[in-house]
Each structure stands twice: as C-alpha cells, then as structure tokens.
Structure 1
Amino acid sequence: MSKGNTVDPWWNAQLLRAVTLYPWATMQPDVELKRLANNGVNTIFVVTKESDGRVFYDSEVAPNQVPGRDLLGELADAAAVHDINIVPTIFVLCDKYLLEQYPETVQVAKEGTEIRYPNVSAEHMHWACPNHDIVSEHLQAITNEIADYEVDGIQFTHFEFQPIVNGESSYLSCYCEKCQDKDETQGVSDQSPAWIDRRCKQIDSLLRKLSDPFHDRPDFLINIELETFSNLDTAINDSRRILGIDQRDIAEYADMLTPRTAHIDLDMHPVWIREVVRSLRQQTNTPITPSIRTGRGERPFNRLEDDELVSAIQLALHGGACGVSLFSDGANIGRLTPDQWDTATKMFDEIDYFDREYGPASTR
C-alpha cells in the first residue's frame, strides 16, 4: 500500500458495516446518525459531490445542493458524536454543472453522440472528459476543499470513459476533438493496444492527482468504487477496453476497493458477490468491501428478501471482504424496508461481535 502505515488504520481494525447515504435538505444529521449507529452501522459513504456536479457544503467552485446548510460539516460533527466513520463520496466525471460551463469537455461516443442526459446517459448523468485540463483542475479544487473537513476518508466513483450500450450495439468514448487530436499527434490508432493504454493511463493519472493530498494522512481512507463484470475471467481486459480502467493500477494507491456488486440488477445469485471479492483480492492484493444493492430501482420495486440479503452479506465475508456496504435505491436509506433494516442490524451485530471476539480484522 502507498501509505506504508505501521499502525493499523481504522478500516483494518474493524470490519466495515457501511451504508451509502444521500443527504436531503430537511435532514437532522444527529438524529439520522444516531439511528444508523443503533442499527449497527459504523461507516457511511456520504454523497458529497453528486452526479449533477452540485455539492453538499459551501464551495467556492461548485453550487451547494442545499443553500444555507453545510451538510457535510453537520454530518461530520454528528459522526464524531456517534462514533461513525464518515467518508465523502465524489462522483468524479459525472458533472452537469461543469459541462454547462464548458460544453466542449463532454465525453463523445465514436458515432458522435455526446454522453449526457437525455441523449443516452442513464440516471440523468452527464459525463466529462478527463483529457481537458479544466476538468481535472475543477475536481482537484473540490477534493482540496473536502480535505479541510474532519472526515475519515474519501471515495471516488464514476470516473470511467462511459460507453453507450444500445441493445446489441455498443459505442466507446471518448472521441471528443481533444482526444482525437491527441491520438493523431501520438500516432495512436483507434482501439489499438496503445489506444487502450492511453485511456487507462489518463484515468489512472486523474485518480492519482485527486488522491495525492490525502496520502500523508495515515488514518485517512482512500476508497475507489469500481464497476464489475459478470465474466470474471475477462473482467480486467473488459474494464481496460470498455471503461479505460485497469483495476490493478488504481489499486496501487487505494486503501480499499469497493466493487458495485448489484447482483439483483444482473439476475445473479449472491454467490457471485463472493467470487467478485475473491477475484479482485487475488488480482489487486487490496482490501475489498463490496457495495450490495438492496433492491432493483425500476418500478415495480423489487427488494431483496431477508434470506437473500443475509446470503449476500455472508458470501461477501466468505470471499474475504473486509466488510460490506449496503446501497439502497438512490442511496436513500429510507428505502430499506423495516424487514431489511431488521436483517441488516442483526447481521451488523454479528459482525461487531466477531470483531470484538477475534480482534482487529487485519490480524485474521
């Protein structure tokens, strides 16, 4: 690991019992975090820069999603009271606000379509191209602001070259003018090994820049959330070719990787989560905490039944995960059903007991 810690940091001293939280305008952070602590949660990944580019604090470079409130600061204060680790989540290249200011920075598919909603992009997302200096400068300014808060880490998510998938057709990005000019200057041919390497190095360089301010803080978690592929034998090659992400490279400066193991969306058995954890651990030699989706977002809503949620958590731990993170629809913790919360609380209590009985996770 890049930090070279001699003392176990907090994420190695306990198994993570985490949820992803999307703040809201009327929330009472102390009330909500007290409830989460009572439910056995010891870590929250709190959306701090969301997909439209807005943030949940008073920023000098991005609009505040909830003007007049510093929700990140309020959540950090409440987390300290309730002994919960708080990790801001940054949607890296999803940024509607930035694209409104600099429309030329939008990612473009090979056939010319801009990767932004409502053209093709799911979840109302707008994707910026990292080949533009203004994109990395804007993102660095945001992470520098977050570094001033009393938080326990940072999570980077949605930082890939986003493809268009339309039925059997699939178009890669980015083919914006800047990227095409760079390829022409370097003599890189479309979708060649050199083209794939160039994109992977570009994403890798961006994440290195964004994580660099935190490497001198030994108890500060750098977490990177990854897309996953159902075919684990070709996962790394597919990730490199389609997304411009080499999981092995970015793992070098991450303290933890979080694969998005939304098995319910892929109609996979929960055993797939175990195999994803094992595969990533083997390929990257990095602690893994999978994000487990608790329901399918489309209507009619399809929630995980109690036994399937238990199986998903257990199989993740059997695969060697250093904890689990639950992701509900829209990161809205209120969309976990009462039964799901009962199940999650029981499982988190068991994990907590295991930690107390057998000592720090890093020694097991």
Structure 2
Amino acid sequence: MSGVGETDSSWWESELLRAITLYPWATMQPEKEMKRLANNGVNTVFVITKESDGRVFYDSDVAPNQVPNRDLLGELVDAAAIHDIRLVPVLFVLCDQYLLEQHPGTVQIAKEGTEIRYPNVSAEHMHWACPNHEAVHNHLNAIVDEILSYDVDGLKLTHFEFQPIGNGKANFLSCYCDACQTRYREKNIREDSKEWIASRCETTAGFLEELTEPVQDDSDFLVNIELEAFSDLETAVDDSREILGVDQRDLAEHADILTPRTAHIDLDVHPLWIREVVRSLIDQTDTLVTPSIRTGEGERPLTRLDDDELVTAIQLALHGGAHGVSLFSDGANIGRITSTQWETATEVFDELATYDREFGPASDH
C-alpha cells in the first residue's frame, strides 16, 4: 500500500476522499497522468480494471487484456505510489460480455424471457451474468485474486445487481434463468413474494461478501461498494430490494465506504438531491458515504456542469455528511473534464486537504 504517514486510522478515515474515476487508454503515460492528478488535489483514483465487456487492464490468465502488451494496472500502481495517490481498482462485477461468451447459459433472463445482453437490450455495454452460477463465482474470484496480487489500496465493486430491463413505464425484473428457477422451487419460494425479494438480496450480498473475503481482515484495505441512487428517498430501500435485488443495509456490512451514483445532471434535478441521498444512505446504513458526482451528461451534444453548479454539488454532498467526493466524467474519461471544471475541483480539493491538515483525521470531525 502507498504510504501517507503513520496513523492509527485506516487511510480513508484519516482524510476526506478527493477522488476521480479513471478509464485507462492504450497510449497513456501513467506517471504523467498521476502527477497531473496530484497537482489537481486528487488523493484517490478509482481506476477501471475490469470493465463492462469483461476485459481487464493487466495481463490475466482468465480474461483478455484490453491493451495487449501493456500491464497498465501495474504501471498505474507504480505511478500512484510516486505521487502519494491511493489507487483502487474498479470491477464491473456481473456486467461481463466475455464471461457470457464463454458460458452463455449464465446470462440473466428477464421475467418475459429476454436475455439481458446486447443486442436484446438497448445499451451495447449491457451483458449481465447471473450470480446463481458456479462459473460466474469462479471467474470473478479468479479476477479478484489476480488484482490482489498488485499493491493496490482497495477494491471498488459496481454493477452486481439483478438488472431489470425497461419497456415504456414497466420494468421486467430478472433473473428467471433455469438456475434461479430451480433454486426458488427447491426453497418453495413463490415468485414476487417477500421471500423471493429477500432471497435475491441474500444472493447479491453473499456474492459480494465472497469476493471481498480475502481482504476483510485487512484494516488498511478499502472495500468500496457503488450503489444506484433512487430519486424517491422515502422508498429507496424498498425500490432497490424489489427492482435490483440489492439491500444497501446488507451490503454496508461488507463495505468501508458506500458510493451512490448521484448523477443529478442526468436526472435534471438540483444538486440539493445529492445532499439528501447522502444523508439518507448514512441514516440507513451508518456507513461512510462518498458520492460519485457526474460532471457532465453522457448524451451528445455533451453538456457540462458549470463552475457554480459543480461547486454547489460538491458542497451539498459534504453538507450532507459525505466523506469526500468522487468525480465521474463521461465514460470515466478525465479528458472530458474541462479546464475550468478542473480549476474548480482543484480549488475545492485543496480546501479539503487544508481542512484535514488543520483538524486531524476526517473520521473525528
């Protein structure tokens, strides 16, 4: 692990997260990029390491390398250590095209029979595997083992839910594959019952517990779980359980920090919503929360948050009790964060760093 001074607290408890999500690219110069991010006040980089198509950014024995002949994860680890930046790999857990190509029968299936993978669903990156298959567990555990062989500072897990597909105003839930149906019959669980909902939540929580088991006893290794954020906070827990098979309260037992995806610009709502999401999640889980704030819309023509709105979004997140913030640009491409946005983010990040230095461990204030 990269060192930032001796402390009795875990590294993420000792300072507020000033984070960015990074998608590597074939020609990148990791040392140059980490130096630039450090100069921008970033202290934590969430780097996409296993992406939605199942490819990885290192030489793997179980998945194809997205950039052959380069071990970008290793290069980024070395560069991050030079600039005192914490490096946390991000895994798209069940969103995995390569895995489904190797094991087609593990695909998630919606209630009306549609396999949840492109081109059966609209988004090309969507290829969802079902966690009720041994092959899925074996594949993901092998990838986690490979990543943990690197000197990384944590692990971030995302896209691990039972993914529904939308059709107008209706959501068709998953998963109704043979393995899931057999499991419910064996347990005498009726479809769409409370027991059915609870069983799906137990499956996702159990799977994430399994994936993080090798590091649960490491007090200085961050386990970060990313969650969908729901607009209706009064029903958010129930909506997540019923629609995604994810209970935030259960997942919090296996996480050091929870990260809700608070893309307020995509929802066309005021950044005040971010504050309320953070507060609600802290109240529900009693766990540190670092929201992911989207700096621009994903649709073209590209729309970016202006300086005032970006500052407001960050400040409201902190006002809600957030343990720092994580900025997410379109496609995790930091090049799409504008120069003025970087100026704004750097100013805020520097203020947070000063606050940590003056008032001590972030967990105490």
Partner of 1:3: none
Runs (4+) of structure 1 exceeding 6 A deviation are: none
Residues 46-92 of structure 1: CA deviation (Å, up to 9, x unaligned): 00000000000011111110111110000000000000000000000
Cα distance between partner residues in 1 of 2:127 and 2:254: 27
SS at match of 1:252: helix
Cα distance between partner residues in 2 of 1:292 and 1:63: 30
Asked if structure 2 preserves the Cα contact closer than 8 Å seen for 1:121 and 1:164, the reply is no
Partner of 1:204: 205
Q: TM-score, normalization: structure 2?
A: 0.97
Cα distance between partner residues in 2 of 1:76 and 1:162: 32
Cα distance between partner residues in 1 of 2:258 and 2:44: 15
The number of aligned residues is 359
Aligned amino acid, residue 213 of structure 1: P
Cα distance between partner residues in 2 of 1:252 and 1:69: 36
Equivalences for 1:48-67 in 2 at 5 Å?
48-67=49-68
Aligned amino acid, residue 87 of structure 2: I
* Structure 1 residue 28 corresponds to structure 2 residue 29: yes
Cα distance between partner residues in 2 of 1:156 and 1:243: 15
Cα distance between partner residues in 1 of 2:124 and 2:106: 19
Aligned amino acid, residue 333 of structure 1: I
Partner of 1:306: 307
SS at match of 1:302: coil
| Identity within the alignment, % | 69
Asked if structure 2 preserves the Cα contact closer than 8 Å seen for 1:50 and 1:91, the reply is yes
**Cα distance, 1:165 vs structure 2:** 1.1
Aligned amino acid, residue 351 of structure 2: E
Aligned amino acid, residue 211 of structure 1: T
Partner of 1:7: 8
Aligned amino acid, residue 292 of structure 1: I
Cα distance between partner residues in 1 of 2:124 and 2:321: 31
Equivalences for 1:95-110 in 2 at 5 Å?
95-110=96-111
Cα distance between partner residues in 1 of 2:131 and 2:325: 30
Partner of 1:336: 337
Aligned amino acid, residue 41 of structure 2: G
Residues 300-339 of structure 1: CA deviation (Å, up to 9, x unaligned): 1111011000000000000010100000000000000111
CA RMSD of aligned residues (A): 0.9
Cα distance between partner residues in 1 of 2:279 and 2:122: 31
Cα distance between partner residues in 2 of 1:180 and 1:267: 38
**Cα distance, 1:122 vs structure 2:** 2.4
Partner of 1:356: 357
Cα distance between partner residues in 2 of 1:37 and 1:207: 31
Asked if structure 2 preserves the Cα contact closer than 8 Å seen for 1:86 and 1:151, the reply is yes
**Cα distance, 1:28 vs structure 2:** 0.4
Equivalences for 1:208-227 in 2 at 5 Å?
208-227=209-228
**Cα distance, 1:216 vs structure 2:** 2.1
Partner of 1:69: 70
In structure 1, stretches of 5+ residues that fail to align are: 1-5
Cα distance between partner residues in 1 of 2:228 and 2:252: 14
Residues 183-222 of structure 1: CA deviation (Å, up to 9, x unaligned): 1222111110010011000001100000000112211000
Residues 104-161 of structure 1: CA deviation (Å, up to 9, x unaligned): 0000000000101121152522000000011011000000111111010000000000
Cα distance between partner residues in 1 of 2:297 and 2:44: 23
Cα distance between partner residues in 2 of 1:345 and 1:166: 41
Asked if structure 2 preserves the Cα contact closer than 8 Å seen for 1:107 and 1:127, the reply is yes
In structure 2, stretches of 5+ residues that fail to align are: 1-6
Asked if structure 2 preserves the Cα contact closer than 8 Å seen for 1:228 and 1:261, the reply is yes
Cα distance between partner residues in 1 of 2:65 and 2:293: 29
SS at match of 2:113: coil
Cα distance between partner residues in 2 of 1:123 and 1:358: 47
